[in-house]
Structure 1
Amino acid sequence: MPNTGRPSRDCHLCRQRRVKCDLARPACQRCIKYGAQCPGYRDQQELVFRNADPTVVKKRKKRAPLPQSPSSQSSSSSSSSSSSDGGVLSAPSLSPNGDFVFTSSTDLVLVNGANYNALPPLTWPVYEHWTSHSIPIILDVYSNLDFIKDMYRDYTDDGPLIWAAHLFSRTYVTNMQYSTALSRSSDSETQRELGGYLGKTLNLVSEALKTPEGAQRDDILATVWILTNYELLIGSLSRTEVLSPWHLHARGLYSILKARGCAPLLKPDGRKSFWPAYSMVQIQALITNTECPPESKEWLETIERLLPLHPGEGLGLAISYFIIKICSVQARIFNLLRRRDFPGASRDYPDLFAQMKAAEQEFEDWIEKNYVGTHILEIYAMSLYHSAIVKGYHVMRLLINFLTHYPPCPIPLEQLNEDREYSVKTAQNAAQGILESVPRVLGPLSSSKDKSPKTVFDALRVIWPLISVYVMDICRSEQRLAAEGLLFYIGRELGVRQALNKYPDTLTLPAEAKEPLGV
């Protein structure tokens, strides 16, 4: 009897064993668990035999589309040229069984050079397992980052980069389908699959780092960096406990950079991989109120001596130096507050406040002497600078509040109130800078409703600046409300779960630091 259905897409061994195949590429997990080498899949272009009854054939001929007249062909040529760039298939969605499902998005199709009109939309889905699209998706997400593009060009074996791409891409597609849910219980099959990819990626990274050359491998650094961004997709940044995955990956980036030393920074490719990783390390220092790595100045000075610098590296160096100083100040302040050390805070305050203002002035002087353009990377860099201003002066205000409750403090109360007003004003101006820059980053998304993967990376880069405005009560209430709205927009439209979190205040601080005397 002829086969009247679609051929099984299972791998050859799973079809032979008569078990359900998970259709993973390059090898299905069932074969791996079975202890056998996956033999691969049948050609999807194999023929599907159907009933050749003459009546059925006659009905099909009646349903066949008619060719256009020459006039209609010419009138539709402009439409076909615009639609042919994107093809006749729309962006994929994810089916319950783990396939990408493509559907028709146009009424025009080009056949042998001729346009045929009035074709109905596809009434059947075109299935292809999502793993064949995971690398194109992640390359689209990071299309502005040469570092990642170079990695996937140079490392094509079945290593951690491939598995990290599967993990990131599947999470992205799933989040896009269910982006408005603050928390969604996915089906157990999806969770097991994602857990398998995460475990495989972590195991490969762990095995590589056990070897002497592991930390020197660019693909390992890139994989750990992708894992930190994956944690933003699932929303673990707000978890500040010791074993939080995002913080573990950020510390892993520092460990790799420390093991690599300054030698990779002498080469252009080494600096390309350094900047994204080091930026994540500095963001963690800002979040956790700790100092930047002690090797930071050595790394930056090594790059600074390599003249001429690459475009954007001058701004990156200036902002990195500024964040090092801010993190040092805030770490000292939190150390004083946690110990409730009134005498120590009174003694150190003049130096701490002077360091903050000096760091700010030094960067402003650099800006006056150097041109900062409007490239999206420069906009993101300035947003990071403004977020450090917001966080730094927020912490400084806590110290000022604390000292107003200490009568023996030699600093006059009038001076403390003046410094407090300066801190509030400076932080609010920086918060406004962040809010005004975000629409320039997300503008293409809001104007054209473009939800392609490449917009995700732009959104990921403004997550921390927006969070700094949203959670720091030094900012005005309308600024915090605007930041909350932008975060929800990113979470809803792009599926970045991190943007949907509420960020409860978990810091343990003395009551005197929360409000100044008399309030």
Structure 2
Amino acid sequence: MCDETKPTCNQCAKSRRQCPGYKDEFDLVFRNETQATERRARKANKKALQRLGKPDENPDESIEHSDSVSPTAGFEDAFKSPLEQAVTPALAIPSETRADCHFVANFILIPRQGSTRGFLDFLIPLLKQEGKDSHLQRAFNACSMALLNNCSGARNSYADKALNEYTHALKGTNMALRDPEAQKADSTLAAVVLLGLFENITAKQLGMLAWGSHIEGAIQLVKQRGRKQLRTRTGLLLFIAVRTQMIIHTLTSGKSPIMGVEWWLNDAVKDETAAKVQRIMIKTGELRAEVTRLMNCMARTPENIEIMLNMIRRSQMVDQEAVSWMRDVPDFWKYRTVAWEDNVPNGDYARAEVYPGRIDLYTDFWIASVWNMCRTSRLINASLIVRCAAWVSAPVDYRTTPEYATCSRTCVEVITDIIASVPYHLGWHLKRKDVLQKANLGQFACGEEDSLKGLAGYFLTWPLACVHGQDYTTDTQRAWVNGRLKYIGDELGVKYAHILSQLQVRIPSMMIRRDGLMASPYGMAHDFEKLVSARNAPPSAGYTMNPLQQREAMQKEYFEQRRADLLSKAAGNTPTPSTQWVTEKWLTLPEKNAYPGPLQVDFQNPVSAGPVTGP
């Protein structure tokens, strides 16, 4: 028996044995802790596998084996610390399994019973039904591999695997879409939704173009599936998921939502409070598309001025719906202010966790995201009101109008509210036990609840992008928002945030410049016969075109020059195909060399557009 004499016990000395040395209390506790860590890692892995419907793996057999064993492997193990030796076997599970666990722990939000809605929770039963080589499983693998690849420390190790899974998923989904029965299956629609999410996670060159295509495809599938899809829980959840993506797509692209508000909401409500916000957002999307259409084709007449004034009134009514919703939400939906920040460490706004001002705490991430959706609807409606006021008041500066004064106050307030929600999304509350409650944590399908989640950052990208592009955002606010978008891309793996952080869009001022660029300059543009007669006149002496054709050619050149200038300013100092695509969609600009017709005065610089002064 060891008598604990150091450095060698007397019992070992008498029997002439080599004494291994006395293990002190700290070392014993340390070893016990590493074993506990290993057990926790195995338990988390088992939980994730059960959630995904996969058989439990023997932890001892889950270690990745390379084709060849390094001759120095034994020596490397000898120099590992006790912590490394204990934890490494538990963590060195196959990359596919790690990716699945990471994605489920970060993106699949389980709804609380009778309270809030989840996110992608329909995937768990669907994945259990589908085979391992199905297009849905491949799409899931692509997303999980891409997210794991984007994590700090991954060093782009899984990019090829993610792309390979995406390619197989795309091929399988295209095959399913050719089958009349398979194209209506829940698994096919879920795969399309995941393919769109993959584009958000990776944000490769022109990836956002692919995202738009996937969402438009999902919208068409929902339309083909009809009302029958709402009879099952999975069908209803898929419908709501597509509806949410449709709203974001229409607001970013300027397209009008197909089928209208009632088609999207009748018999398709799982949470009444959230559905009211989606109704407001769909109405906002319809208004945005209608205002843009009118700006592209209307001549300045008394009748058309009245139409624009009516558009202002309609936008104001939708904004009032948003105000009423915020005032009347149930107590369970209300947020509370828990702290106040007075300054930024070292004045570095780009790296600061909190912007000076209040910090708000919400019931969960999903409720916080609905609040911010409502707030972004107010920002968009304010921009529509100012755009219409600029059209009506031109060539007078729109910033002198009462509509601009009211909207600027609204936007400043909304921007403050969105910024106050960001620390909660990005884990500020997790480090403060004095404010942290179980109710403030999302219930994810696996993993620890009190940890930073990729879904929270994903929910933030759209509201932060709207704040980043507002004329009313201050320079310090914009620097802080820009830093938060980069943080979401770098730390949470949602690379789409990087593209949004690079944009230099300013709304509504750039939209007003765009409206002036797209409109018609002719005071009699509504007189079709006179316009056709002038265009068909013979060429002037010594010229190949008549005066009207010459003017249109000059205006086409002017249009392309101003379009390029506006796009360059909005896309940032070093534009990429992705930022240019997003900018063109946000500003609803036509493609290059797609001159829409004769121009109208530029509202911000009326003299430079020629002798015509009416919009």
Q: Calculate the TM-score normalised by the size of structure 2.
A: 0.58
**Paired AA for residue 140 in structure 2:** A
Residue 365 (structure 1) aligned with residue 328 (structure 2): no
In structure 1, the residue matched to 2:297 is 339
Instruction: Report the aligned-residue RMSD.
Output: 4.1
Any residues of structure 2 matched to 1:182-331 within 5 Å, and which? 193-235=161-203, 244-303=209-268, 310=270, 313-331=271-289
Judge conservation of contact 1:236–1:245 (CA < 8 Å) in 2. Answer: no
2:139 to 160, 164, 169: 164
Distance 1:497 1:427 in 2: 27
Q: Offset of 1:444 from its aligned partner?
A: 5.4
Taking a change above 3 Å as real, the CA distance of residues 382 and 64 of structure 1, as seen in their structure-2 partners, is farther
CA contact (8 A) 1:139 1:149 kept: no
Counterparts of 2:86 and 2:27 in 1: how far apart (Å)? 25
Q: Compared with structure 1, are the counterparts of its residues 163 and 320 closer, same or farther at alpha carbon in structure 2 (3 Å cutoff)?
A: same
Q: Does the CA contact (< 8 Å) of 1:390 and 1:428 recur in 2?
A: no
Among 74, 98, 103, which residue is 1:138 paired with?
A: 103
1:278 deviation in Å? 1.0
Aligned partner of 1:348 in structure 2 is 307
- 1:433 aligned residue: 417
Shift of 1:419: 0.9
Given that 1:337 and 1:509 are in contact with CA atoms closer than 8 Å, whether structure 2 keeps it comes out as: yes
> 2:383 & 2:261 partners in 1: Cα distance?
24
Give 1:143 shift.
Answer: 3.0
Matched, 1:390 2:388: no
Structure 1 position 422 matched with structure 2 position 406: yes
Conservation of the 8 A alpha-carbon contact between 2:454 and 2:492: yes
Aligned residue for 1:27? none
CA contact under 8 A between 1:336 and 1:345: conserved in structure 2?
no
TM-score (norm 1): 0.68
Residues 513 and 438 of structure 1: CA distance in aligned 2, closer, same or farther (over 3 Å) = farther
Q: 1:510: which partner in 2?
A: 516
Alignment partners' CA distance in 2, 1:85 and 1:390: 46
| Alpha-carbon distance in 2 for matches of 1:238, 1:382 | 30
Alpha-carbon spacing, 1:238–1:319, altered in 2? closer, same or farther (3 Å) = farther
5+ unaligned residues in a row in structure 2: which ranges?
A: 1-16, 46-63, 68-80, 110-118, 335-362, 433-447, 518-600, 608-615
1:443/1:141 CA distance change after superposition, 3 Å? closer
Q: Between Structure 1 and Structure 2, whose CA radius of gyration is higher?
A: 2
**Residue matched to 1:14:** none
Aligned partner of 1:119: which letter?
P
- 1:122 is aligned to 85
How far apart are residue 73 of structure 1 and its match? 5.6
Change (3 A) 1:278 1:168: same
Distance in 2, matches of 1:486 and 1:386, equals: 18
Offset of 1:88 from its aligned partner?
11
CA offset at residue 194 of structure 1? 3.9
What is the CA–CA distance in structure 2 between the aligned matches of 1:391 and 1:74, rounded to whole Å? 58
- How far 1:436 sits from its partner (Å)? 1.3
- Percent identity between the two aligned chains: 16
Q: Could you tell me which residue of structure 2 aligns to residue 154 of structure 1?
A: 129
Q: Distance in 1 between matches of 2:484 and 2:96?
A: 31
Cα distance in 1 between the residues matched to 2:98 and 2:494: 20
Partner of 2:259, secondary structure, is: coil
Asked if the contact 1:488/1:499 (under 8 Å) is kept, the reply is yes
Q: Kindly provide the CA deviation profile for residues 439-466 of structure 1, in whole angstroms up to 9, marking residues without a partner as x.
A: 1111259749x99997112211111111
Give the count of matched residue pairs. Answer: 411
Are residues 1:404 and 2:393 paired? Answer: yes
Query: Aligned partners of 1:465, 1:152: CA distance in 2, in Å?
Result: 31
Contact 1:237 1:247 in 2 (8 A): no
